[in-house]
A and B are shown apart, each in its own frame.
Chain A
């Protein structure tokens, strides 16, 4: 096939690079949700530690 004109080729090239960026963004979003879950669990553990009272020797 002959080379596509720039205006048509541009759409495909943009599509490929946007796919790559979208993959990274989705991954970052998943990591952000994992981080927020870890933060929530840490708060729960903090509350649990408070309920148990001060640790001896602390």
Chain B
């Protein structure tokens, strides 16, 4: 089900990311101010944008769960947040590297963009412990959906607040007031963003296919009479109720 179309999607992701990296190192000009260091921008910023959009997507999927009661939406939301958290780690590490090279410090605490992203990341870092703390799967899914929606609504509000705040050191990109990219840099950035978006969708689909296969295996084991092994302990990951098709 979720494995459908994974091969062309994986290929498209590899091709787009390869093209993006080729553009970064062989096409995009050196930044007049920062020089070669600015190349980090093409991996750091798309990763941040896709991670934040992934959190918002997780919230939208959680709304789907609360509206329909279908636990598959909870699973989709869980996986979107899971993949976004992984990208979030990448954003923090690449950002720290860029900060060290540009500003001489690994982290700047009075910079709103950095601190706000860290707050969002730490907020979502509590998502899995929250799930793990609730044993009943139904309640776990419901509470996790409420959390995902609340935290997801916080992401654009946070983004807006940071935009309105006066930045001390972190540059603004793609804004109307400054930081506008020249054409060749913009093209490179957009290809990188597309690659990162495709990577997110690919990883999401891989994870969903894996979880779907595990659920099918559990259902098959139950059907074959291996109930004692089919029963799983407490888990942060949702247990999707996916019965195997009955032979007619």
Are B37 and A41 in contact, CB atoms less than 8 angstroms apart?
A: no
Chain A 1-21 near chain B by CB (<8 Å), digits 1 or 0: 101101001101101110110
Are B224 and A20 in contact, CB atoms less than 8 angstroms apart?
A: no
Q: Does B98 contact A (CB under 8 A)?
A: yes
Q: Does A31 contact B (CB under 8 A)?
A: yes
Q: What CA separation (Å) do A41 and B221 show in the bound complex? A: 9
A45-B221 contact, Cβ under 8 Å, with A12-B40, A31-B206: yes
Q: Does B33 contact A (CB under 8 A)?
A: yes
Smallest beta-carbon distance B88→chain A, Å: 10
Chain B 133-150 near chain A by CB (<8 Å), digits 1 or 0: 000000000000000000
Q: Does B102 contact A (CB under 8 A)?
A: yes
Q: What CA separation (Å) do A17 and B47 show in the bound complex? A: 12
Chain B 83-115 near chain A by CB (<8 Å), digits 1 or 0: 000110110011001101111100000000000
User: How many of A's residues come within 8 Å of B, CB to CB?
Assistant: 29
Interface residues of chain A: helix, strand, loop or mixed (majority): helix
Inter-chain contacts of A24 with B (CB < 8 A): 199
Inter-chain contacts of A57 with B (CB < 8 A): 247
A17-B206 contact, Cβ under 8 Å, with A1-B102, A23-B90: no
Q: Does B49 contact A (CB under 8 A)?
A: no
Inter-chain contacts of B89 with A (CB < 8 A): 23
Are A48 and B90 in contact, CB atoms less than 8 angstroms apart?
A: no
Inter-chain contacts of B207 with A (CB < 8 A): 31
A6-B36 contact, Cβ under 8 Å, with A1-B103, A12-B97: yes
Sampled A-B contacts (9; CB under 8 Å): A1-B104, A9-B37, A12-B101, A16-B44, A16-B93, A19-B97, A41-B217, A42-B217, A52-B224
Task: Name 4 extra pairs, CB < 8 A, besides A1-B103, A27-B203.
Answer: A4-B101, A23-B87, A35-B210, A57-B247
